[in-house]
Each structure stands twice: as structure tokens, then as C-alpha cells.
Structure 1
Amino acid sequence: MASKRTLLVLPALGVTVIAVAAGTGMLGGADDTADVALAGPPATATVQKRTLTRTEKVGGDLGFGDTTDVPAPLTGGGMVTWLPGDGDVLERGDTVYRLDQRRVPLLYGTIPLYRTLSAGSEGADVRQLERNLRALGYTGFTVDADYTSSTAAAVRDWQDDLGRTETGRVGLGDAVVSSGARRVAEVTTQTGAAASGVLLRWTGTTRVVTVDLDTDYADLVRDGVTATVELPDGATVPATVTDIGTPTSREKGGATLPVELAVAEQQRLGRYQVATVQVVLAAETREDVLAVPVTALVARPGGGYAVTTGGDYLPVTTGLFSGGYVEISGDGVTEGLPVGVPE
């Protein structure tokens, strides 16, 4: 099966064809190419050591990553009386929604509220609650795995600030737990509706780039690999592969590999929130190779390429083409060698 990969730089670009000269007898024949004297080239370049990288450009999407559902409390009942707006960013302590005008705040952590916590409770979820209380400014207790009377006192202060009944206990549905700040992607219900099903969907607050990568290019990505993101206005920003998912089949055949890239310099993304972008991946890198501008190449009538130097044709073997340069090797090819190029 033929590879789907294509070079971004075409070897034929800028190459001077000397077959016409051979056809008129000026060169005498293909075997005499290296010995033919030429008029001085209009300009020269030198053979230099360079690092060349061949790239592949694939389509991607700039956004805030995957969405997560925020369901109504398992306790059920109540009416939705307030909701945030699309695009709102919610941080620790902010209200996620109101049920019967009762505020349900956001807490940070990894353990959802799956039981009622009160004096005498022990466990990692207690420590998580106490860390949130401390971060919100409540004191008088020790952050540990024990729910003490001091913890209950801090909870009552918190409940008072929320305008809720001061029970000193925290139960199911009293808060929504997430790993960090969240951005509202979509509100799926409305005020006045019964609290059931999914109330809203949210994402992280940091913009990321996602790519459904053709599996033919799977070898180009791994955790930590850097890439370049091209924005719609032509600006570029570096990105790093942070997550590689499991290949999924497409309806029209083939498979894609979900890839996520992080952008450390968020300010360079400008005002773009959601956009279609291009992602440039490094396909092959050759370090410290001898290279010349592609325009220095001359097509030999018998096949292959040469460069002009000192009034003579010097046959060369080409390697990687990248960014307007080409890797060359062969007898007489040395660093610093001057070669002819068009003006």
C-alpha cells in the first residue's frame, strides 16, 4: 500500500535542468557532466552543516478539551432556580447552580460527595473537605482525615456564608467536586425545570489543541513531543503532546488516533477560544548534515543532481529536503565549499 505521506518541500523546486545543454552537444554526454567548465554563477552559497527536519501538517482544533457532564444530585427533587452562563469560569467556592435557591458550590478534589460527613467521620474525603475549607479561608481545625467538632464548627460557618441551614454536616448534593476550575461549555436545562438528568457540561479552563490523527502518522507522536500550531491568522505557537488516546474507527474506513497537545504560552493564542488550526509534526530529523539551498541543485541529464563549484559540475547524492535546503553528499562535498545559486 502506498504511503499517505508527502513532503512539504518538493525536490524539483528551484532545480536547474541542464538536459537542454546536453541535447545541443554543449556537455558532450551524461558521463562528462563533472568535467564541463561553466560560466561563473550569478551568486554563490556555501555548503553548511545544518539540522534538517521533514514535517507533516495535519488538521486540528483549538478549544478547551473534552466536556464533562454535571448531573443533578442523586438525592433528587428540587427546582433549578439559577444557572451559570456558557463560557463562565467557575473556581473553588463559586456557585455551580441553585436548587430551590440553595447554592451548590464547587470544591476541588477527586472524591465526589458520596456519603454524609459529620463529627466522627474519617477518611480521605474528610481530608479533601478540610483542605477546601482551609483554602476558602475557614480556620480552627486541623487538616487531616478526622472530622472533629472543630471541623463541624468550620462547616457551620461555611453554611452560614452560603445562606444555608447550619447543620455542621455535609451530605450528598451539598457541593460539586472537580479537579480544578471549570469553564461552562453548555447549559442543558433551564431555570424553573425540575432538577434531573444533566444540568450542564463543562471543560477545563486552559486552551488545548486536539487532533484526530490518521494512524499512518502514529509514529510521529509520543508524550512530550513538540509540535507547531498554526493559527488562522498565520501566527504560530509551540505545543507539546500530553495525551494520546486509543485508536477509533471512522465511518468511511480507516482509524484515527486522538491526540491532545498543551500550549504553555497561552497568551500567544490571542483571542481565539475555539478555532480550526494546523499542527506541524516533525516526521524526520537529520542533525549536522551538509546542506545547500535547493536552488543550488542542477539536474543531470543522465539522472541525479550536481552542484556547480569552481566552474565545474560536482555530482552529489541528495538526502532530506526541508525548509528550502537539501542534504547533499559525495566526493568533494565538504563544509564551506562554495556552490552556485541563482540570484
Structure 2
Amino acid sequence: MPGGPVGRRQVSGATVDERAPTAEGDRPSRRRRPRRRVALAVAAVVAVGGGASAVLLGTGGGSASGTAAALPPKTAPVTKQTLRDTQTEDGQLGYGPTYSATSRLQGTLTKVPESGDVITRGRELYEVDGKPVTLMYGSKPSYRPLEVGTEGSDVLRFEKNLRALGYDGFTVDKEYTEDTADAVQEWQDDLGLEETGTVELGRVVFAPGAVRVDSKQASAGDPTSPGRKVLTYTGTDKAVTLELETTDQRMAKKGAEVEVTLPDDETVKGRIDEVSTVIEPGSGQSEEAKTKVEVTVWLRSAKARKAAAAYALASVDVTFTAGTREDVLTVPVSALLALEEGGFGLEVVKGAASSYVPVKTGLFADGRVEVSGDGIAEGTAVGVPK
């Protein structure tokens, strides 16, 4: 091989090959000469691979591969494995988000439950003027009275609850009929309410499921009116809440499964229920507002409920998995070389010779990257920095 020995040096955070001439007039080959223009390529690798180096190589002649000037200082084999893009964050185990029950009635609170009480469908949530305000299940709140002739999804939601409580004689649909009113009169009689057949606004509070009273915002004897908060509540299942940086939002997708490690090191599965972006205002003119991503993870499986039952509040670890690739070829991220014509390559070593081979990259995780390309197989030796 013509020319002298090859050394490696760092340029702007990237490793480059440099041929040392042995006689006056000798030059490195233009086709293989490394370039200084590496900043963008290196930044792309570092951002995903955690500080890896890359080399921008000109291959010349339009060829996608070239012969290396000398063997790399070290090699690593291409391995087949499963890659998982994971990240672990601190979370707080509790009962999930807190919601407010707000009165829509005018009068006096005559009964308010205690913190920790659990209320289920059809049961009294609180009492106004000696008459119950009951809990029913639904994702949207009441916004109008229900009476004969009323139509809409709120009618359907109420009738589903009425049927679930054992009342019948009506069709469960979006129309409030005389038959519905008859069933409502029976329901009102059972609750000790005036049998009007009309559901007044504020007599029912809708929540997604059974609720656990978190705190009282008012006490028995206090006056109440529309808009007055009575209590706050949560769900009855255990949940983990946590915050992510906006740059990590890709880790949290609604419906995705995560692993939660409890204080006793037991690991259970959870599912992401809610992902929301929250802006935290700065405390003064000198402090800028911060944007955070709030994540709620519910522990609803039988195993998770049992494992978390011993903890009212606790700090836990939540492991997110943004991507998984099974049985793929991988190399250390530091083995990637940024090609001048775009994309990445590897320096493949065979015996006493090596060559640059372009590759397609896939998932980056744990300092390794998924690769594929001609001549890349399990066990192939590739160059890596010393």
C-alpha cells in the first residue's frame, strides 16, 4: 500500500483519519481524504447516541464505498439483538388527578362526606337542604335539566345509569319520553325527592367511575349556590403522575404500556391514560415560563392493584419504551461514519484490509444503533474509535 502511516485526530468533536506523507511531494488520496465539514452529521449522531463521534468521508467518483487508508485502531462485531428505546423517570404514586364537585343548587349543605370515603353509582355524593345529590357514571357533566321531549347524548348517559340501577320500562336512547319520566318518578321516590319526572340540573354529578373523596371544600351548614365548590375527588384506582421535559414527549403516548417499579422493587405494568402540556408561569420578571408534559399512568390490572394497595402515597420509577426492534443487526453508535454524499457508513474490516460501506440506520438505543446494508451481517468486524 503506497504512502506512510495513518494517524487519527479529533476535529470539532469528530474523529478523522489523516495520512502522514513519508516523502516530499507525497499527498493523501483526494478520494479518501476526510473533511472538516462534520458538525451537522456529528450533531445528529450525538443527539441520539449520547456523545458518539462520526467522520465525514468523501468517497469520490460517485461511489458509495471506498477503501480505507489504514486499519482502524479497534474493531467491534456486528451483533444481532433486540433494541429498546427506554427511559426511566421519577413518578408519584397516588390516586391520579383531582377533580372538583361544584354545586349547581341553591341552599344549605346538610351533609358532606369525609376525606377517603368512596362513593359509587347511585349513592349520595353530598346533600343540599336534606335532599341527596347522587353520583352517576359518565365522561361529561350535566348542563341542563332533563324532561319529556329532551333529546341528546346527555339523555342517553342518564338512561344508561338509570337502567344500571335497576329501573326499567323505558328504552335506553337519546330521547327522554313519558316512559323515562315514569322511571325517574320511581327513582325520585326511592331517594325521597319530589316525584316530578324531571331531573333538575345539579341533582346528579357525573364522574367516569366510582370516586374517592380527596378533600372537603365546604362543610355541613355552609350555604351553597351554583358555582360553589363542595369537595374534590379522585378515582379509586391507583395511578402514577409525573412530569417530562418537552424534548422527551415522544416517550409518552396515550394508551402505551409502561413499567412501574414500586418502593419494594416489585415491577408492575401500567398504561398511560393522559398526556397533557402544562405551562408553569415564572415567579418573576427574570424567570421565564416553563413548559412541562404531565403524564398520568393508571394501575388497573389485578396484579398492579394488589401490589400498590399497601401504598397511599409513594415515589416510584416509571420506565417508558418509545420503540422496540427485535432481532436486528446493531453496532456501537461510535462506529458510524458520516458520508459526504449523505447518510452513514461503517468501516468494514476483513483481514488486513478495510473498506467503507454505506448503511441504513434504524433505532438508536443504549449506545447502539440498528444498521443494514450490503455486506453487513452478524459477526462482521467494523471499526470503532480507540
| Range class of TM-score, shorter chain | 0.5 to 0.7
Q: Hey, what does 1:37 align to over in structure 2?
A: none
Change (3 A) 1:228 1:5: farther
| Residue 272 (str. 1) matches residue 301 (str. 2) | no
Instruction: Tell me which residue corresponds to 2:239.
Output: 208
Pair 1:76-2:113 in alignment: no
**Equivalents in 2 of 1:321, 1:5: separation in Å?**
8
For residue 171 of structure 1, the aligned residue among 194, 197, 200 is 200
Cα–Cα, structure 1 residues 5 and 139, in superposed 2: closer, same or farther, change >3 Å?
A: same
Partner of 1:240: 271
| Inter-partner Cα distance in structure 2 for 1:146 and 1:227 | 42
> Percent of aligned positions with the same letter in both sequences?
39
C-alpha separation in 1, matches of 2:323 and 2:201: 53
The question of 1:125 aligning with 2:154 is answered: yes
In the TM superposition, residue 213 of structure 1 has moved relative to its aligned partner by: 0.3
Change in Cα spacing, 1:321 to 1:188, as seen in structure 2 (3 Å) is closer
| Structure 2 Cα separation of the partners of residues 211 and 116 of structure 1 | 38
- The CA deviation at 1:201 is 0.9
Query: Residue by residue, what CA displacement relative to the aligned partner does 1:182-211 show, whole Å, maximum 9, x if unpaired?
Result: 221111111111124200011222222222
Deviation, structure 1 residue 283: 6.5
Q: Is the contact made by 2:258 and 2:320 (CA closer than 8 Å) also made in structure 1? A: yes
SS in 2 for 1:189: coil
Q: Verify the 8 A CA contact 2:96 2:298 in the aligned structure 1.
A: no
SS of residue paired to 1:151: helix
SS of equivalent residue, structure 1 residue 134: helix
- Kindly tell me: are residues 211 and 159 of structure 1, through their superposed partners in 2, closer, same or farther at Cα, counting changes over 3 Å? same
TM-score normalized by structure 2?
A: 0.59
Rounded to whole Å, the distance in 2 between the matches of 1:167 and 1:108 is 22
Could you give the per-residue CA deviations for residues 283-330 of structure 1, whole angstroms, max 9, x where no partner exists? 675643679xxxxxxxxxxxxxxxxxxxxxxxxxxx98869x999xxx
How many aligned residue pairs are there?
275
Higher relative contact order (Cα pairs below 8 Å, separated by 6+ residues): 1
The Cα shift of 1:52 comes to: 4.1
2:259 corresponds to 1:262: no
Kept after mapping to 1: 8 A contact 2:253/2:275: yes
- Runs of 5+ in structure 1 lacking a partner? 8-30, 35-46, 292-318, 336-343
Shift of 1:151: 2.2
What SS does structure 1 have at the residue aligned with 2:126? Answer: strand
Quick one: which amino acid aligns to residue 143 of structure 1? Answer: V
Deviates more, 1:121-130 or 1:224-233: 121-130
- Residue 237 of structure 2 aligns to a residue whose secondary structure is coil
Q: Is the 8 A contact 2:80 2:378 kept in 1?
A: no
Deviation at 1:50, TM superposition (A): 2.9
When the two chains are superposed, the root-mean-square deviation of aligned CA atoms in Å is 4.0
Q: Is the 8 A contact 1:5 1:56 kept in 2?
A: no
**1:250 touches 1:256 (CA, 8 Å); kept in 2?**
no
SS of 1:256 mapped into structure 2: strand
Structure 2 portions without partners, runs of 5+: 1-42, 51-70, 331-362, 380-386
Residue 97 of structure 2: aligned partner: 66
> Which of the numbers 137, 158, 161 marks the counterpart of 1:108?
137
The answer to whether structure 1 residue 153 and structure 2 residue 177 are counterparts is no
Q: Which residue of 2 aligns with 1:227?
A: 258
Q: 1:287 to 1:199 in 2, by over 3 A?
A: same
How big is the shift at 1:48?
Answer: 7.3
Distance (Å, rounded) in 2 between the aligned partners of 1:6 and 1:90: 50
Q: 1:124: Cα distance to partner? A: 3.4
